[in-house]
Structure 1
């Protein structure tokens, strides 16, 4: 038997009740029907901590943006990023951010101080010296920042020529003789810059074994000496000690993973080991960090050549013809590329 449905029946209106729990006894006079218990519990409902913090952050940003000019706000953001990079020891990225900030606020003591730190670890001693000169005589509220600068100063002296060495250099117009270097170093074993200058002289004469020995003495006294480790990595590569060459670079990269000199020298050693793709990748990374480092441009030309990417190689060689400074660094790469020298 078919059920008879009355589709025209009037719908029955539901009894008014609490929207939360269905209690028929709700508090009147409000847009939403709620019983007294539900209304009280919603009033006391706790606001999550993350919502409070997010709201507070928005308020701070609004206040800062109203107080600071757009340029100063940009400088503050750059400094904030730079400080994060510094904590991660990514000094190349830090220095890029600080350059932006210094353009806007060139007299900022805090930016100058952090720029001194970044440039030191990047072996940019010209910028380091400039920043430190600007900070002389200034008072610091940040004791930790001042302590860091003082620690760097103790190492920085090894990167600058002494007055005595400058006088010797003026005295010998055709270069300081080896015997004079040796006598001076015996009298002043603490003068690591002069020892480095002598190691460089020997290196330029392609006496890589002796240069390596001299550099090892410097590193024994100052194991953080960037230039000594960089040159030793090259000397060991020339001596065929490829793993030792990589180890020198890795010491530098441990302190600063964005140390361009170490990345470029390690790239050459990887190329020497036949790891052409790895060498090219590392040289490209170094260029992204600092496109003005000519040694890496020559490394990049070698890497492109060994990876048979002739168009990119020839672009660097063409650029070298128009830049005399780059041309000097390209001499070895040119000899390898033209087949005059075996890599």
Structure 2
């Protein structure tokens, strides 16, 4: 009998295992003819699935075209949250500003903005987010609300416990001795008033009474670690006593809380300059200047760094910028150092 190519072969040993055709393709583990191999290798997609996939693609494209701002805002928010976890609050605040410009009522965005601004020592900016949190309670945001409440508690450190003393202290601003005497009396009655204790420590520092400066600051740092100004004052006191390791350690404590802290970086820059580690000071000053080019404190620090690194042209350009700044409080001291009126280091 003549064998038909499509007829099954009884034993199936030398034939296609699907249709039993003897014309199977060699070189494969499974013996299949060309037609059966092609049929089995295909997994045809139903038309309904194809159209569904196309529909999803069209929706994505339309969404990106129609709502580019929401996509951008979400990306900025996600970047900000990641930066916050890395304690890079300056960069986080910039990303959150982008989000809130598009969605100012975004509750989580406002909360994270408040945290970032607080850690950047921008209290007015942090306060601007308060209105979004009035009376808010949500189980979905318990951790975030807890963080905001911690910031609100720390915010109280920047005010006198007795508001009437604030009026008295302001009236004594032009007479340091009288202001210090008032602070001494007030802190005896209000030993837990953080702001008053800090101002007293600052008065001691102005008199080069570093022992009392250290004593008050060390107590504050222990009892109110969220009050950031105390880190810089204690670091400065250690620095002037040439306790450079201790001063650097205090700066690093602040920088662990916020690696982009302007105050923390400037304090460390001044310590490096005192030790004549001018190149390291330059690298750090350039890094913080890139983050906050409009900050007058950063400008003043970079001017000093350029001066000690013999970069006179750059120094003078920055000086011209600082003179045009709205805040020139650091200009006089900076010029005194440059002109040799103040001996900054041995």
C-alpha contact 2:169 2:182 (8 A) present in aligned 1: no
1:207-265: CA deviation from partner (whole Å, max 9, x where unpaired):
44433332222112113421001121122212222222111100101121111210111
- Cα-Cα RMSD: 3.0
| 1:65 equivalent in alignment to 2:72 | no
User: How many Å separate the matches in 2 of 1:240 and 1:60?
Assistant: 67
The 1:315–1:25 alpha-carbon spacing in structure 2 relative to 1, beyond 3 Å, is closer
C-alpha contact 1:208 1:235 (8 A) present in aligned 2: yes
User: How many Å separate the matches in 2 of 1:194 and 1:61?
Assistant: 60
The 1:150–1:316 alpha-carbon spacing in structure 2 relative to 1, beyond 3 Å, is same
1:164 aligns to what? 164
Q: Could you tell me which of 304, 312, 326 is aligned with 2:314? A: 312
Question: Which sections of structure 2, spanning at least 5 residues, go unmatched?
Answer: 1-21, 45-52
| 1:75 equivalent in alignment to 2:73 | yes
User: How many Å separate the matches in 1 of 2:73 and 2:226?
Assistant: 31
2:150 aligns to what? 151
User: How many Å separate the matches in 1 of 2:62 and 2:134?
Assistant: 30
User: How many Å separate the matches in 2 of 1:307 and 1:194?
Assistant: 39
Normalised by the size of structure 2, how large is the TM-score? Answer: 0.79
- SS in structure 1 at match of 2:333: helix
1:280-315: CA deviation from partner (whole Å, max 9, x where unpaired):
111111111222332221111111111111111111
| 1:331 equivalent in alignment to 2:329 | no
- Spell out the pairing of 1:107-146 with structure 2 (5 A cutoff): 107-140=105-138, 141-146=140-145
User: How many Å separate the matches in 2 of 1:191 and 1:331?
Assistant: 32
Q: Could you tell me which of 269, 272, 290 is aligned with 2:271? A: 269
1:89-139: CA deviation from partner (whole Å, max 9, x where unpaired):
211111110111111111211111000111121121111122124311233
Q: Could you tell me which of 34, 37, 41 is aligned with 1:34? A: 37
Question: Which sections of structure 1, spanning at least 5 residues, go unmatched?
Answer: 1-14, 45-54
C-alpha contact 2:213 2:237 (8 A) present in aligned 1: yes
Normalised by the size of structure 1, how large is the TM-score? Answer: 0.80
User: How many Å separate the matches in 2 of 1:309 and 1:123?
Assistant: 30
